[in-house]
Amino acid sequence: MMQGRPGGHAIARRGPSTRVRRRRTLWGATALTLATVAVLVPLIRASGDDGPGVSEPVAVPTAPVAAAPPSLDQDMAAILDEAGEYRVGVALADVSGGVTRTFGDRDPFFAASTAKIITAAAYYHRVETGEARLDEPLGDYDAAFQLHAMVNTSSNDAWLLLMDAVGHSELTAYASSLGVEYDPEENLLTAADMALVLRRLSAGELLDEEHTTELLGSMQDTNEEDLIPAGSRPDVLVQHKYGQVAGELHDAALLTYRGSTVALVVYTEAPEEGSTSEQTELIRAVTRTAEAALFPTGS
C-alpha cells in the first residue's frame, strides 16, 4: 500500500520489522531508514587541504597507509550495544583498498533510496558504452536532469524512469559485474554491498572521470543533510545518498579528509514505525566515531 508524501513522492507501508529478509518491491521505496552502517576501514593519510574542497575525484593512493586503531572495534561495539532493539549494520573500508570491516548486522536490509546510486551508475555506464545519451528525453526532462533529481533530491519519479530505461534484468547484471547481488524488485543490500559500490565509484573503477565527477557532485548538498553530514566535521567532505522508508533510515557516504577517502554506510531498522530521532543520533554517533578513528586531527 502506498501513502502520499509531501513533494509528490510515496512511501511503502509495512508491518512490524522482522529479523529475516523481507521481500518488498522497489516501487515502495522513497527514503532510507538506516539500520546498516558500512564502514570501509583502511585509511589513507595523505597531505592536502584541510577543507572539504570541491567535488572532483581525489587522486587515490595505490595502497592504504594506516589501519583503523583497535579502539574503533570497542567504540563501535558500544554504540551497537546502546542501540537496543534497533537493527544496525556497520562496515568500513578505504577507497585505496585493503580490508573491509563490518559491525553489527551483516544480513541484507531493504536498501530504499541508497540503491539509487546503483541505478545512476548503471545509466552512466550505458552512456559510456553508447547505449544511452544524457540528452535523451525521459519523462518531461532529459536523462541528465533525471539523474541529478534522483540522487540529489531523491526523486522516485526519476528513479522509475531511469530503472525502466536501464531495464531491471540489466540492473541486476550490472550490479553483479560490480560484485554485488541485487534484484531491483526486492531492493535488498547489505551495508558492505553499498560500501563496495561507493568505494569503486570513488576510485574511478565504475565510470570515466567526467561521469564520476557528475555523480559525486549530485551527492553533495542534498535534500537531506541531517544524518552523516550532520555528524561529520566541517573539515571533511561528505558525498552521500540517504534512504528512508517505514521504520528504516540509512545513509551511505564517501568521507574525504586530506586526500584520504573512506566509504561509510549506515543502515538502521526500527522494531516499529515512529520517531526517527534515535536512529538519526545513532547514525551521527557512528559518523563521529569513524572520523575520530580514521581522520585524527593533527595527523
Low-confidence ranges of the chain (pLDDT < 50): 1-66, 299
Q: From CA 158, how far away is CA 150, in angstroms rounded? A: 5
Q: In terms of Cα–Cα distance, which of 60, 58, 50, 2 is closest to 26?
A: 2
Domain count, the chain: 1
Q: From CA 8, how far away is CA 208, in angstroms rounded? A: 33
Q: Decide if 86 contacts 130 (C-beta within 8 A).
A: no
pLDDT given at position 91: 86
pLDDT given at position 297: 84
101 within a domain of the structure (yes/no): yes
Domain that holds residue 252: 29-294
DSSP assignment of 238-277: EEEEEEEETTEEEEEEEEEETTEEEEEEEEEE-SSSS--H
Q: From CA 16, how far away is CA 210, in angstroms rounded? A: 43
pLDDT given at position 41: 36
The three cell numbers locating residue 90? 556497520
41 within a domain of the structure (yes/no): yes
pLDDT given at position 100: 77
11 within a domain of the structure (yes/no): no
36 within a domain of the structure (yes/no): yes
Q: What is the pTM assigned to this prediction?
A: 0.81
Q: Read off φ and ψ for residue 256, nearest 5 degrees.
A: -125, 130
pLDDT given at position 98: 73
pLDDT given at position 40: 38
5 within a domain of the structure (yes/no): no
Q: From CA 88, how far away is CA 83, in angstroms rounded? A: 8
211 within a domain of the structure (yes/no): yes
CATH of the domain at 240: 3.40.710.10
179 within a domain of the structure (yes/no): yes
Q: From CA 115, how far away is CA 62, in angstroms rounded? A: 28
276 within a domain of the structure (yes/no): yes
